[in-house]
Amino acid sequence: MKCVAIKDVKKFEIKDILEPVADGESVLIDVKKTGICGSDIHYWVAGEPAGLVMGHEFCGVVTDPGNRSDLRAGDRVTALPISPCGNCPACLTGNPQYCPETWSNAVGLSLTCPGGLAPKIKVRSDMVIKVPDTVSDEEAAMVEPASVGLHSVHLANIKVGERVLVIGAGIIGLVTAMFAKMEGASSVVISEPNKERGLKAVRLGVADSWYDAKDTKMIETLKVETKGGFDVVIDCCGNSPAVTTALATVRPGGRVVLAGVSLGTVTIPTVVAVMNEVTVQGSIGYTKEEFETTLKLIETKKIDVNKFVDDIVGLEEVQRSYERLTSGNDSAVKILVDPNK
C-alpha cells in the first residue's frame, strides 16, 4: 500500500509498504482521517528517523477487531497512539503519559508502528476507543490533540475568575485556550508571532485578545494591563523566548505550565521564577480518562473541534501541507489527511 514516509530534511516520499496483517490481538483499521500534528513537524524538519510513517491522530473503520470482543468489523474507532507498559508506577497510577515505554512503540511516532499517513494501520487493542455515530471522522481525529490541551489545563488547575495567558496559537494553543475558558478563566489572552494565527484565535472565540510575540514591548504591556501578571501562563511553544515570556508574565505566586516541547536545551532566566515563587509544571500527552472525556465533550457538543480544521488533503498533498503549516504567514493550524483521497 502507498504511504507517506520521512525521507530527508523537510522531505517526504510516497512509497510502498506492506499492509499490516491480523495477529489475533491488535486491531486492524482502515484509516479515514489523520491529523498533522506539531510534533510531527519536528520530525519532518529534522528529516529523521528516515522511513518513519507518521500520523498518530486518526480515525478509521475496524477491519479486524483482534482480541477485542466488544468490537466488530465496520465499527468506527480512534485510539491513544501510545504504548504504555501497564505495570510501572506511572501506569498503575493512571499516568501512562510518563511511562518509560509510552513512546517506544507509539503509532506514527516510532518505526515499529507506522501511523495514519497510510490507508491501513495496526493498533494495540487496549488503546482503541469506539467512536459514537454522532461524532464525525474529522472530530474523532481531533480527540488526540484536543486531549493534550485538556491535560495541560487540568495541570494548570485554573480557578474560576483567573486570568490566563496561552503562548502559541498553533492547534495545541487553541484547544488549550478553549479548555481554559471552559474551566472558568475570566480572560484568556494568546500570544503568537504569526498575525494570521493570532487573529484567528480571537475570531474562533477561544481567546479574548491576541498579542504579537514579535513585539519587544509585549511583556511590559501585558504586565501593565494585568497589573502584575497572569494567574496562569501555559506555554504551548517550548523555545527559549516563549518560556522566558511565560516566567516574565506570570504574577508572583502564579503557575506556569510548560506544554511546548523543545528537544534542545532551553536557556531561561530562572531568577524570575525564584524571586516570584512561580510554580512550574511540565505537561505531556494525556491520561486515558482525559482522552475519553474529550471524546465525550465532542459527542455532547460541549466543545466544537470542527472549527479548527482548515483543510483535508490526500497523501500527495502532505508535503505541501507541511510547508504551509511552517510558512509562518498562513493561518492554517490543523490539516487532516485522507489517505484514500
Q: Which residues bind Zn ion (CB under 5 A)?
A: 37, 84-85, 88, 91, 99, 145
Distance set, CA 185 to CA 3, 22, 189 (Å) = 42, 47, 10
Residue with Cβ nearer Zn ion (42 or 203): 42
Residue with Cβ nearer Zn ion (103 or 266): 103
Q: Minimum Å distance from CB 151 to Zn ion?
A: 12
Residue with Cβ nearer Zn ion (97 or 249): 97
Q: Minimum Å distance from CB 191 to Zn ion?
A: 21
Residue with Cβ nearer Zn ion (104 or 186): 104
Residue with Cβ nearer Zn ion (76 or 334): 334
Q: Minimum Å distance from CB 88 to Zn ion?
A: 3
Q: Minimum Å distance from CB 133 to Zn ion?
A: 25
Q: Minimum Å distance from CB 90 to Zn ion?
A: 5
Residue with Cβ nearer Zn ion (137 or 162): 137
Q: Minimum Å distance from CB 35 to Zn ion?
A: 7
